Structure 1
Amino acid sequence: MISKNTIDTVFETARVEEVIGDFVTLKRSGTNYKGLSPFSNEKSPSFMVSPVKQIWKDFSSGKGGNAVAFLMEHEHFTYPEAIRYLARKYNIEIEETEQTDAQKEQANEKESMYLVSEFAAKYFQNVLHNTDEGRSIGYSYFKERGFTGETIKKWGLGYSPEEWDAFSKEGISKAYKLEYLEKTGLTIVREDGRMADRFRGRVMFPIQSMSGRVLGFGGRILGNDKKVAKYLNSPESDIYHKSKVLYGIFHAKQAIAKKDNCYLVEGYTDVIQLHQAGIENVVASSGTALTPDQIRLISRLTKNITVLFDGDAAGLRASIRGIDLILEEGMNVKVCSFPDGDDPDSFAKKTPHDELVKYLEESPKDFIQFKASLLMDEAKADPVKKAGLIRDMVGSIGKIPDRIQREVYVQEVSRIMDISEQILVSELAQVSSKEVAEADKKFKDERKAQAMQVVPDMPDAPQERINILDRVERRIIEILLLYGDTEQDFEDVYIKYDEFGKEFEHTERKSYKVYERIYLNLQEDEIQFTNPIFQALYKAITDHYFAQQQVQAGTETETATATGNFLNNLPPELQSVATDIYMQDEKYNLHEWEEKQQIPVKHKSQSISVYTNEHIIDLRWLLLGRLIQDLKMQVSPDADNMEILMAVNDYNGLVNYLSRKLSRLRSSFY
């Protein structure tokens, strides 16, 4: 595991505006930067980066966080991958926590294999571009396939020379160990000790992980020798597992997330040709039948898959077996086939961009419609075959975990095949597991019960009260985050009595840090937030301020560092809420209301003390209201309720007093 010291160094060194600037065009806007959202299509900027607080916020999607959060959202890195990416960017040496000797050896071995694979990728590219054999054979092949020079470089395509051990000798000469050349499958060591290159005489397709590391290779032979496999993949290794890898995922991940759909094809050239044609949300199963792990990899980016099939009928029947697997993983699947004789590669090559986009948008069919259209022609004249087709469709429906989707598809099959729903439901119960059948029955029973149920009139006041309370608690957290460390003069109004016993109000002014004021008031009344997220955030914020109490207020950079450190140490669910509050306060600046639209914005900072007092009293007032309601519920006609009623009366008097204070505060603020 990466050491805490390394993670801290990464957070201290990485600048959020520099990290995001590698992916998004940012323009200065006051003390912040703004740009177009990388998570949605928009014309007006709703993406803001704060160098002072070292956070970002995308107002169009609601996403936000620090530099690591951006990489996890935009690049779909895991947390360790994001840390390693930043460490490489800022040349930070990664320290690993205490590990056993076996763990250290395994980690070092994997890293060595990654380095060998990355060396091999560069070697094959160099041979392709800078040798006579590479240019005349490999480069010519890629050009014949219609790939541009830019595409060839983008995908790192290469060529392995015909010479028996050219790559292996080059690797050894560059001090790469034969052990790792062999473990990655790039070199084959014969019984007599001689080395042989696995991919000699092939054009090379590097296979990358989602984070861009080279895991293995696919190699295509260019001759017509039928005794040799046309395509050859790297063997399974500690870094390359075919069943867990999708070809093109590194280049496609952003487009898949943005389009909320993934096109799934069979071959390397299908992927590359579609990307070159402007369809970038496409991947291939990397030389293996589709697996659950590959589907789950896509599900990190989208729940929608469109399978693109070749036009020949034999290929279609063979490929639709993967549909059930996609359905079983809870994904939505559509199917698109190409005209007979075409595959995604050839169709994309000859079709203008606009027509290609239109075809891919309009041609996909629901998997039920696709199966029906594919098999109905041969089944319609044969009742037995038709019955088999219906069972096949019902079998696919049984794979779907969602009950509502299953019922919708049952209705669809009933309509297409002209067969009653009742028979289909019965068939579904037979082909599905007992659990699925019971779930269907339970769902239908619940739906009938809901249809017959008379909903009683329920007072909506408690629900509204909870909503208001949640908003007030959020406002107090907002005050703590934005102004907690500022010093303010606060007014306290006390009820006193003169020498004649007449009541009067006495006002005192005292200076507090805002967080101290809130803490003391809430402690005095032993108040806890009702929302557990806000309670946890309140504790984290006050702990942070008290820990910083001895630190002298510093420059803006020091303030930014303190804010960044505070956010980085929060759990993800708290970090998300805190970032949202920080950046929501900057939203008016994003749209330049005052400068360009001439709309004056009254900032809370102009009356922090009043704003703080108002929300503390608001919280007390709402909680008192809840307490009074709880006491009233305890009143019983068979008991002596005097003590309870006296308490209610006292609390009502306090509520009235707080209401008067709130009225005065609001009139002064607004």
Structure 2
Amino acid sequence: MISQNTIETVFETARVEEVIGDFVQLKRAGSNLKGLSPFSNEKSPSFMVSPVKQIWKDFSSGKGGNAVTFIMEHEHFSYPEAIRYLAKKYNIEIEETEQTDADKAEANEKESMYLVSEFAQKYFHNVLMHTDEGKAIGYSYFKERGFTKDTIEKFGLGYSPESWDAFTLEALGKGYKLDYLDKTGLTIVKEGKQFDRFKGRVMFPIQSMSGRILGFGGRILTNDKKAAKYLNSPESEIYHKSKVLYGIFHAKQAIAKQDNCFLVEGYTDVIQLHQAGIENVVASSGTALTPDQIRLVNRLTKNITVLFDGDAAGLRASIRGIDLILEEGMNVKVCTFPEGEDPDSFAKKTAYDDLVAYLSNSAMDFIQFKASLLMKEAKNDPIKKAELIRDMVMSISKIPDKIKREIYIQECSRIMDISEDVLFNTLAQLVQKDIQEVGKKQKADQKAFEVVKSDPETVSASVDVQYELERKIIEILLLYGTAEEEFEDVLLKANEEGEAVEVKELNNYKVYQRIYLSLQEDEVELANPLFRAIYNDLINYFHQNETFELEHYLMRLDPELAQGVTHILMEEEREALHNWDAQQIVVKQKNQTISQYVSETILTLRWFLVDKIINELKNSISSEPEADNSEILSAAMDYYKLINSFSSKLGRVLSRYS
């Protein structure tokens, strides 16, 4: 178990904007930061981070929390794993007791697969660095490729011995279950026998964006024609090759900083460029580029530069991935290397400054690249030229942004010497075709959106007034709970004649005390179960603690309540709902004091609840001729007097501070 002292140190040290910044490109939005959701596919940012409150909220998926919950959500970590990850990031020494057998048994299947993969990476690396076979074969190969010891260490490279079961026996001997060795694909189990999948190969660990080992790529070093040159881990619960980019863990910060990502094909291309000083580079690992891989980059930058070999045989097929990148609304450039060179070989022999200059000067916009490449094929053939132009317009049609589409049409017109009108007509046909194919759903969504947008009554009807008022009370407690403010009390006191009269006094209360006493006085219990649970927990916390720090408070909450708290605090960052005043929902204005805001909110809630009772009484009135409704009407009149009282009090609250 991790000690409480370590957990508190992690919470105090970790900055939510720094933690999330490793995974999402964040841009300033007032006092907050915003970016694309890492939990859903979106093109407009709805992911908000509050450095002041040290919390985040993803409005597209509803998720939210602090730095620890982000790591748990994003990487599917357990709570202890998230703490360990952050401790490692901030170089915090972890104090913990040794994990018991019972603790190990509690680890779920996915976590067990991660642990097996991490063990395998350490095993293969140890074999590479510290065994005769590993040094003679694996280490020698990496040295021949020009990789330094530091680079080998950084990327965790390894070697799997030329033995049918060396790794499997070692793992079983360390207590790892054969079931998880099989599920991760590290061991092949067949007809009661088990043997190593990667025997006799140099190993490239494949890491997630947070650095967890997901799987491996293994390269054979012999000339065995029957064996595949490269062998990857099979698909598993933790490894989905279409959703992973090799090198993303080491590249993420450089990608965000440089605001550009270089995309290559193989493991060694990534490592060699990284070693040469170009760290913002990732690889699709030999697979066709997928939308999920592109979205990984899209979180960090809008710009991708695709690097192609100078003599790539499948260049025409490879550039199809460019259309996928364009569809995601990203900017694409293409850079090719001299004939006979690839990113690995070119980076190996080129000085850093020359390499940077080459990548900068040789990168072409995708439209120019496609034109130059395909024009070689078309030559003087008018039919092929027409197909080429249509191919280019097809790529342009994938771009979501209309302004960018128009600019690229103009560029295509200039390059291909063809009128813009013809190109725009062709573009319109292609766009219309796409709309027709997937348009039914889009039209239905658009229609629904327009109905809501154009009908204020629909918006009003959708607002749950009691929900919003209760949410406001929780928000006030979270933001101002321990603040001491001056409130007006109305007391009954005897005058000189001995009559009871109302006397107004100003007294100091802490905000949470005022709210608690006011709701207790009316015996009001919050209707929303989540708000009620948070309210009760907050009041107990305030009664037991002199001070309130949001980070420490969140740390002790269970995930459901913590997410609820985050949602309440970040809700104000969204665009305000229309017509709050008509809904009788109080929104704090800049010139309001805290006590005025508290008083208004409580009075408005009480007003709403009494109004609700009056409506219930009205509905209970019998229409039967002989029915006696006098008691109901009398009660309703009493409640109407209460509403008049609330109106009077609200007037005093407003006039006191106006």
- Name the TM-score, length of structure 1 as normaliser: 0.64
Q: Which residue, 7, 10, 18 being the options, matches 1:18?
A: 10
> Aligned partners of 1:158 and 1:556: how far apart in 2?
52
1:37–1:58 contact (8 Å) kept in structure 2:
no
Over the matched positions of the two proteins, sequence identity in percent amounts to 55
> Aligned partners of 1:406 and 1:439: how far apart in 2?
23
> Aligned partners of 1:556 and 1:497: how far apart in 2?
39
Structure 1 partner of 2:596: 614
Structure 1 partner of 2:216: 217
User: Shift of the alpha carbon at 1:209?
Assistant: 3.1
Cα separation, partners in 2 of 1:73 and 1:236, compared to 1, 3 Å: closer
Structure 2 partner of 1:338: 336
Query: Are 1:514 and 2:511 counterparts?
Result: yes
2:394–2:427 contact (8 Å) kept in structure 1:
no
Structure 2 partner of 1:53: none
> Aligned partners of 1:576 and 1:362: how far apart in 2?
47
SS at 2:74 equivalent:
coil
User: Shift of the alpha carbon at 1:18?
Assistant: 2.1
Structure 2 partner of 1:565: 556
1:158–1:205 contact (8 Å) kept in structure 2:
yes
Structure 2 partner of 1:424: 426
Residue deviations 1:551-590 (CA, integer Å, cap 9, x gap): x534669997546435955464741663899xxxxxxxxx
Cα separation, partners in 2 of 1:91 and 1:321, compared to 1, 3 Å: farther
- Map 1:368-383; keep pairs closer than 5 Å: 368-379=367-378, 381-383=380-382
User: Shift of the alpha carbon at 1:406?
Assistant: 4.6
> Aligned partners of 2:562 and 2:112: how far apart in 1?
33
Cα separation, partners in 2 of 1:250 and 1:117, compared to 1, 3 Å: same
Residue deviations 1:466-515 (CA, integer Å, cap 9, x gap): xxxxxx99998775334424666634479999999xxx995424454423
> Aligned partners of 2:298 and 2:131: how far apart in 1?
42
User: Shift of the alpha carbon at 1:332?
Assistant: 1.0
Q: Which residue, 407, 417, 434 being the options, matches 2:436?
A: 434
Query: Are 1:58 and 2:51 counterparts?
Result: yes
SS at 2:278 equivalent:
coil
> Aligned partners of 1:507 and 1:25: how far apart in 2?
46
SS at 1:270 equivalent:
helix
Structure 2 partner of 1:242: 241
Structure 2 partner of 1:121: 121
1:515–1:542 contact (8 Å) kept in structure 2:
no
SS at 1:200 equivalent:
coil
User: Shift of the alpha carbon at 1:337?
Assistant: 1.6
User: Shift of the alpha carbon at 1:413?
Assistant: 3.2
Structure 2 partner of 1:607: none
1:128 partner amino acid: L
SS at 1:334 equivalent:
strand
Structure 2 partner of 1:465: none
1:157–1:204 contact (8 Å) kept in structure 2:
yes
- Map 1:640-659; keep pairs closer than 5 Å: none
Query: Are 1:203 and 2:241 counterparts?
Result: no
- Map 1:158-169; keep pairs closer than 5 Å: 158-169=158-169
User: Shift of the alpha carbon at 1:163?
Assistant: 4.0
Aligned residues: 559
Structure 2 partner of 1:632: none
Structure 1 partner of 2:322: 323
Cα separation, partners in 2 of 1:416 and 1:246, compared to 1, 3 Å: same
> Aligned partners of 1:537 and 1:259: how far apart in 2?
43
User: Shift of the alpha carbon at 1:218?
Assistant: 1.4
2:265–2:284 contact (8 Å) kept in structure 1:
yes
Where in structure 1 are there 5+ consecutive unaligned residues?
1-8, 27-33, 48-55, 98-103, 443-471, 530-534, 582-609, 624-650
Q: Which residue, 540, 543, 566 being the options, matches 1:575?
A: 566
2:184–2:215 contact (8 Å) kept in structure 1:
yes
1:210–1:250 contact (8 Å) kept in structure 2:
yes
1:612 partner amino acid: I
> Aligned partners of 1:423 and 1:292: how far apart in 2?
28
Structure 1 partner of 2:310: 311
SS at 1:263 equivalent:
strand
Structure 2 partner of 1:453: none
Structure 2 partner of 1:146: 146
2:55–2:66 contact (8 Å) kept in structure 1:
no
Structure 1 partner of 2:282: 283
2:16–2:51 contact (8 Å) kept in structure 1:
no
> Aligned partners of 1:191 and 1:156: how far apart in 2?
33
User: Shift of the alpha carbon at 1:402?
Assistant: 5.5
User: Shift of the alpha carbon at 1:184?
Assistant: 3.9
CA RMSD between the two structures: 5.9
User: Shift of the alpha carbon at 1:266?
Assistant: 0.6
Structure 2 partner of 1:480: 477
1:240 partner amino acid: Y
> Aligned partners of 1:15 and 1:313: how far apart in 2?
51
Structure 1 partner of 2:544: 553
1:371 partner amino acid: K
SS at 2:286 equivalent:
coil
Cα separation, partners in 2 of 1:340 and 1:16, compared to 1, 3 Å: farther
Structure 2 partner of 1:462: none
SS at 2:337 equivalent:
coil
Residue deviations 1:365-384 (CA, integer Å, cap 9, x gap): 43323212221244352211
1:209–1:249 contact (8 Å) kept in structure 2:
yes
Cα separation, partners in 2 of 1:161 and 1:192, compared to 1, 3 Å: same
SS at 1:240 equivalent:
coil
1:37–1:60 contact (8 Å) kept in structure 2:
no
Residue deviations 1:81-119 (CA, integer Å, cap 9, x gap): 56643378656979999xxxxxx99954x5554444333
> Aligned partners of 1:192 and 1:480: how far apart in 2?
62
1:578 partner amino acid: L
2:482–2:548 contact (8 Å) kept in structure 1:
no
> Aligned partners of 1:498 and 1:84: how far apart in 2?
67
- Map 1:616-631; keep pairs closer than 5 Å: 616=598
> Aligned partners of 1:160 and 1:510: how far apart in 2?
76
- Name the TM-score, length of structure 2 as normaliser: 0.65
SS at 2:205 equivalent:
strand
SS at 1:432 equivalent:
helix
1:220–1:230 contact (8 Å) kept in structure 2:
yes
Cα separation, partners in 2 of 1:363 and 1:474, compared to 1, 3 Å: farther
